[in-house]
Amino acid sequence: MPLQKFQMHRLMRIASLLKENRYPNSETLVKEFRRIALEENLEIDCGKKTILRDMKILEEEFHCPLAFDRARNGYYLRHHGWDFIAPALLDENEMLAAVIGARISEEIFPAPLKNRIRNAVDYLLQNNNPDFLDTANMESLSILSGLHVNLESDIFMTIFQGWLTHHCVNIEYADWRGQLSRRVIEPHTLVFFNNSWYSKAFCHEKKHPRTFSLQRIRSAELLKGTFKPDRGIIASVNPDDFLDFEKIENVKLHADKYALDRLKASPLHSGQVIHDDGTVEIPAVAKEVLFPFLLSQEGNVKILEPVELKEEFKAKLRKILDNC
């Protein structure tokens, strides 16, 4: 049966007194817990029957080598090699963070990592009973990540382990054309971006940082060689530069109100500026990002500058029409 937080506090205090050879008994413990309740504002006050139940729990569930010395009228440890291994006692904010974290992990991490996180939180919940679980339905907390690509769990965990322990990984990687190549990479980062998993890593073959989509990795083997985390590679992971596309600088758009709301919610660049007349100035943006956005707006956004980019987008539209 899960232990309540105030009960765990009592067990911890009793274990401490036993370790200190204080020979506590039910009467002295009742007085001690009453003092603690007043001075520390803990719900720890109880009667003698509760103390006796606590002693039984220490013996049966925590294998405490408990004995009673009639001459000293108190409990003691038959040997001091025993350690009281107690689960963490978390406050409600900490438990809320853990539960929400587990819900998010179930949506964005593949197995078995998400199962490990879930099991860890379940263990915490066994010994912590936060009030919010009585009123909140955690199943109604939804994270629609859109993670539909089935990642091979072994491959993901190998990359994850390489990132976690700073070990190099030998991978077989398929580019966008499906061509396979062997790479030894240093996974300096692990990134969930646009509903997919990536690693920005140093590629030993190219001698340069590269962004690898985990869904394109066909096999992965953890190597003995290690690396030192590169702060420059880690700092380069941001929405403006992450995918390493070539950027078009000083792009100017004009958008209607609906499109402006979209741009405010999902900027095309962290430094974009939106003017009152609907003009949007973007310091730099990749065509691979801009063109899909323009198509999704169905004519509610138009390119003002540069003219060459505007003409290229028109050519793309004509090609679409020709294929309809």
**Residue 260: its pLDDT value, please?**
94
CB atoms within 10 A of CB 107: 13
pLDDT per residue rounded down to tens, the chain (324 residues): 456 777 888 898 899 899 988 999 999 999 999 988 888 777 888 999 999 999 999 999 889 999 999 999 999 999 888 888 766 666 677 777 888 888 888 888 888 888 888 877 777 776 666 666 655 566 677 777 665 556 888 999 999 999 999 999 999 999 888 899 999 999 999 999 878 899 999 999 999 999 999 999 999 999 999 999 999 999 989 888 777 788 999 999 999 999 999 999 989 999 999 999 999 999 999 998 999 999 999 999 999 999 999 999 999 999 999 988
Residue located via tokens 């990749």 = 286
Strand partners, 196: 193
Structure-block tokens of residue 238:
């941001």
**Residue 146: its pLDDT value, please?**
62
**Residue 68: its pLDDT value, please?**
94
What single-letter DSSP state applies at residue 130?
Answer: -
Residue 209 CA to residue 241 CA, distance in Å, equals 13
Strand partners, 183: 171
Residue located via tokens 């003009």 = 279
**Residue 36: its pLDDT value, please?**
84
Task: Return phi, psi of residue 207, to 5°.
Answer: 55, 40
**Residue 113: its pLDDT value, please?**
87
What single-letter DSSP state applies at residue 172?
Answer: E
Residue 311 CA to residue 307 CA, distance in Å, equals 6
Residue 186 CA to residue 183 CA, distance in Å, equals 10
pTM as predicted: 0.65
Residue 77 CA to residue 15 CA, distance in Å, equals 9
Residue 309 CA to residue 246 CA, distance in Å, equals 13
Secondary structure class of 266 (helix, strand, coil): coil
**Residue 129: its pLDDT value, please?**
64
Residue 104 CA to residue 174 CA, distance in Å, equals 29
Nearest Cα to Cα of residue 37 among 8, 11, 9: 9
Tell me if 185 sits within 8 A of 167, measured CB to CB: no
The secondary element (H helix, E strand) that includes residue 74 is strand 74-77
Secondary structure class of 117 (helix, strand, coil): helix
Tell me if 90 sits within 8 A of 98, measured CB to CB: yes
Residue 5 CA to residue 292 CA, distance in Å, equals 53
